[in-house]
Amino acid sequence: MDFWQHNIVYNMLSLGIASMLFTSIFLWFARDRVLPKYRMAVMVSASVTSIAAYHYFRMFDSFNEAYKVGGTVEEGFTGYNVGYRYVDWFLTVPLLLVELVAVMGLASAIQSSLLKRLVPAAAAMILLGYPGDMHTQLFGLSNSMWGLLSTIPFLYIMYVLFIEIGKSLSAQSAKVQGLLKGARLLLLATWGVYPITFILAMNEVGAPSFESVVSREVGYTIADILAKCAFGLIIFTIARVKSAEESKEFASAEFKN
């Protein structure tokens, strides 16, 4: 790996650490700035970015040990632990859906029904994508086949988000509807980066090229920052708006001139 390739990934992972860490700090300290019924959504958002911050520290260290300037592709591939990213996703992707459902303030039965379907689907999507990204040919299945299998729960999640949850938007105010629609589109746009990056490296056999490693780590990091930090801040904003709409005392205390 040459100096510029190493430097690009080094700086992107550093940006990931900073974004996740300081978003976490903000959300943990700001959780009391919403009504109690919406604090769970903010705390889940803070948990997502906290988990991600830890794993970005681990990825940062693993990358620096594995991909040394002048090192070979085989040394980097063997030494870099891609599993850190997938463990992070396995924990945080379901939680992203939990925070979205939690901030909507739906009836308990509806929340429970949505989460019982969304959380397992999100976990399955991550588990099925991992063997393909690792180029393992597990169970004799190609990288493209693992990618296809991972797409099935992804499409189901999109159906629930845009069709079933969409039916509940009419109960929200116009401002909250706009924010929720924006949050859903952000998830769709950022989650779309993952399969694109996956597809670009899908036909590689053995150790991926340095160019592939750089595009993968940069693409995944940008998508993570948007899907976790930006999404979490949107969830916090929704919680603030709904709190003000539901409590005149809260609105007076928080938004006084």
Q: Write down the domain spans for the chain.
A: 3-254
Closest alpha carbon to 196 in 229, 181, 218, 228: 218
Query: Which of 41-50, 77-86, 241-250 ranks highest by mean pLDDT?
Result: 41-50
Query: Which of 73-77, 96-100, 129-133 ranks highest by mean pLDDT?
Result: 96-100
**Residues contacting 140, CB < 8 A, separation 6+:** none
Closest alpha carbon to 26 in 7, 48, 11: 48
Q: What is the pLDDT of residue 50?
A: 97
Radius of gyration of the chain (CA): 20
| pLDDT higher than threshold 90 for residue 98 | yes
Average pLDDT over residues 67-84: 88
**Residues contacting 210, CB < 8 A, separation 6+:** 1, 2, 5, 67, 73, 76
Tens digits of residue pLDDT in 170-179 = 888 899 999 9
| pLDDT higher than threshold 90 for residue 35 | yes
The pLDDT-based confidence of 139 (bands split at 50, 70, 90) is low
Average pLDDT over residues 144-171: 85
Euclidean distance between CA atoms 14 and 68, whole angstroms: 16
Euclidean distance between CA atoms 66 and 69, whole angstroms: 10
Q: The pTM is what?
A: 0.90
Q: What is the pLDDT of residue 169?
A: 83
The CATH code of the domain at 3-254 is: 1.20.1070.10
Tens digits of residue pLDDT in 192-245 = 877 777 666 655 556 778 888 898 899 899 999 999 999 999 999 999 999 999
Burial, 57: exposed, middle or buried (Cβ in 10 Å; 0-12, 13-18, 19+)?
middle
